[in-house]
């Protein structure tokens, strides 16, 4: 089988996007989807989280946050950087929260904030949502990390919520929503990061759209960009990202992702992390599969120009080994891309390469 499409990998602006078109701004999305919240913009999820942590430290002398045991290592490093204490609550290999264990942790008055992640753009299961709502009535503060969501239809749970646009769109920025006003004063634009990222996007566009041999250059630029992503202070959302955001019809984007997800689910259900997904309310970030020989399958797909990220590999010691469920998942999960702009044949092709690779794995 030869590669017919380049699927996944870094996002690049669509050359057909019409600069005259204007859809909703992030602030308009905030009003539409999150009425009653204060809305702030930052340069990315990392910066929104730093704002939340700084405000929490101002309110409480020794705050502590409960983090799910399945999470992105950037979250842990941000807590360390901001010197806010955290404790993990257990999540199993099917992303079910151990509500009994969580309840015990919440009984400790040190743990004032619960951090939740609607993983991969899907809501938490109903029983977890109900339990969290009940704890909120008793005074619990919830932070909802929607980095893997793009304005889904399910109801928010967080007293604070943030999005990360770079996970879904070829632009940067984060919308931070809070029930109480927070101090959020972006003090710079991350120019070095943005310059490398835009250059990477240009190389990738020449490589993907024009078939020019710039793959190595594009990877180099994105790697450089990532080296400069985390900066002191709070970066703001840059003007170009704001303009590109408004040129994006997010309703269409989400609908297309749901459609691709559904197609893949029909073909690959037996490997899906979510056996019975509630797709109508979700904004799928990807199609997570749980498989043996994951790294081998990853390499096989990559050799066919299908870039399926691994979210998340735990670095040494970050999540203690006794969280066996999360560790088991992090060793077996692969995230097949779910994108707009490809014909159904491309998804059939990807599913075929994936199934073929399992046979040989």
Closest to ligand PLP by CB, 44 vs 123, is 44
Residue with nearest beta carbon to ligand PLP: 45
* Residue 318 contacts residue 76 (beta carbons within 8 Å): yes
Using rule CB under 6 A, residue 174 touches ligand PLP? yes
- Report the residue number, 162 or 349, with the smaller CB distance to ligand PLP: 162
User: With binding defined as CB under 6 A, does residue 178 bind ligand PLP?
Assistant: no
Residues contacting residue 58 through CB under 8 Å, at least 6 positions apart: 183
Q: Does 46 bind ligand PLP (CB under 6 A)?
A: yes
Q: Is 164 in the site for ligand PLP (CB under 6 A)?
A: yes
DSSP string, 296-310: HHHHHHHHTTEE---
Query: Would you count residue 319 as binding ligand PLP (CB under 6 A)?
Result: no
Smallest gap from Cβ 211 to ligand PLP, in A, equals 30
Asked whether position 190 contacts ligand PLP by CB under 6 A, the answer is no
Measured from the CB atom, the residue of 76 and 328 that comes closer to ligand PLP is: 76
Minimal distance in Å, beta carbon 76 to ligand PLP? 10
Nearer to ligand PLP, 45 or 200 (CB): 45
Q: Are strands 141-146 and 160-163 parallel, antiparallel or unpaired?
A: parallel
256's tokens: 């297309």
Instruction: Using alpha carbons, list the distances in angstroms from residue 106 to 23, 68, 83, 140, 225.
Output: 42, 13, 21, 8, 39
How many residues make contact with ligand PLP (CB under 6 A)? 13
Query: What CA–CA distance (Å, rounded) separates 350 from 314?
Result: 26
d(CA 132, CA 97): 11
Instruction: Please choose, from the candidates 266, 300, 302, 259, the residue with its C-alpha nearest in 3D space to the C-alpha of residue 283.
Output: 259
CA-atom Rg of the chain in angstroms: 20
Nearer to ligand PLP, 121 or 277 (CB): 121
Question: Measuring CA to CA, how many Å separate 29 from each of 46, 181, 237, 350?
Answer: 20, 18, 15, 33
Window 126 to 155, contacts with ligand PLP (CB under 6 A): 145, 147-148
User: Using the rule CB under 6 A, which residue among 50, 166, 257, 258 binds ligand PLP?
Assistant: 166
Site string for ligand PLP, 70-109 (x = CB under 6 A): --x-xx----------------------------------
Binding span for ligand PLP by CB under 6 A among 16-24, 28-36, 40-48, 58-66: 40-48
Residue 45 sits in the site that holds ligand PLP (CB under 6 A) = yes
If the CB atoms of residues 77 and 262 are measured against ligand PLP, the closer one turns out to be: 77
Nearer to ligand PLP, 174 or 300 (CB): 174
Q: Which is nearer to ligand PLP, 12 or 353 (CB)?
A: 12
**Of 308 and 353, CB closest to ligand PLP:** 308
Binding part of the chain for ligand PLP, among 69-77, 187-195, 274-282, 302-310 by CB under 6 A, reads: 69-77
> Given the structure tokens 């749970």, which residue do they identify?
157
CB-based contacts of 153: which residues, under 8 Å, 6+ apart?
280, 281, 282, 283
Mapping DSSP to helix (H, G, I), strand (E, B) and coil, where does residue 335 land?
A: strand
117 contributes a contact to ligand PLP by CB under 6 A: yes
Does residue 151 contact residue 169 with C-beta atoms inside 8 Å?
no
Nearest approach in angstroms of CB 145 to ligand PLP is 5
> Within the chain, where are the H helices?
26-33, 45-59, 73-82, 99-106, 126-137, 191-209, 215-227, 239-246, 250-268, 294-303, 324-332, 344-360
Min dist. Cβ of residue 47 to ligand PLP (A): 7
Nearest approach in angstroms of CB 283 to ligand PLP is 14
> What distance in Å separates the CA atoms of residue 330 and residue 272, rounded to the nearest whole number?
14
- The residue ranges that bind ligand PLP (CB under 6 A) are 44-46, 72, 74-75, 117, 145, 147-148, 164, 166, 174
């Amino acid at each position: 089988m030869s590669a017919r499409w380049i699927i996944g990998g870094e996002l690049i602006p669509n050359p057909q996007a019409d600069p005259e078109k204007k859809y909703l701004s992030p602030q308009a999305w905030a009003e539409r989807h999150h009425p009653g919240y204060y809305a702030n913009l930052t340069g990315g999820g990392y910066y929104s989280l730093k704002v939340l942590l700084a405000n929490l430290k101002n309110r409480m002398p020794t705050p502590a946050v409960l983090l799910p045991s399945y999470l992105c290592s950037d979250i842990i490093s941000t807590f360390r950087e901001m010197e806010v204490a955290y404790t993990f609550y257990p999540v199993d290999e099917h992303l079910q929260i151990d509500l009994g264990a969580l309840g015990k942790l919440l009984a400790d008055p040190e743990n004032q904030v619960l951090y939740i992640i609607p993983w991969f753009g899907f809501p938490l299961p109903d029983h977890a949502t109900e339990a969290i709502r009940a704890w909120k009535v008793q005074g619990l503060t919830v932070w909802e990390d929607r980095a893997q969501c793009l304005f889904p239809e399910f109801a928010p749970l967080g007293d604070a919520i943030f999005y990360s646009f770079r996970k879904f769109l070829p632009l940067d920025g984060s919308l931070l929503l809070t029930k109480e006003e927070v101090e959020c004063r972006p003090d710079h634009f991350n120019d070095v990061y943005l310059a490398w990222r835009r250059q990477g996007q240009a190389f990738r566009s020449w490589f993907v759209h024009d078939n020019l041999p710039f793959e190595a250059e594009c990877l180099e630029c994105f790697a450089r960009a990532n080296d400069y992503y985390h900066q002191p202070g709070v970066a703001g959302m840059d003007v170009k990202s704001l303009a590109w955001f408004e040129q994006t019809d997010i309703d269409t984007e989400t609908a297309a992702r749901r459609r691709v997800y559904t197609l893949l689910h029909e073909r690959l259900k037996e490997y899906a992390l979510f056996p019975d997904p509630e797709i109508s309310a979700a904004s799928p970030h990807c199609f997570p599969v749980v498989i043996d020989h994951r790294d081998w399958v990853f390499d096989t797909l990559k050799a066919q120009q299908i870039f399926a990220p691994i979210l998340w590999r735990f670095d040494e010691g970050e999540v203690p080994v006794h969280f066996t469920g999360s560790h088991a998942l992090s060793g077996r999960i692969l995230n097949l891309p779910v994108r707009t702009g490809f014909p159904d044949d491309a998804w059939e092709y990807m599913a075929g390469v994936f199934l073929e690779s399992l046979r040989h794995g």
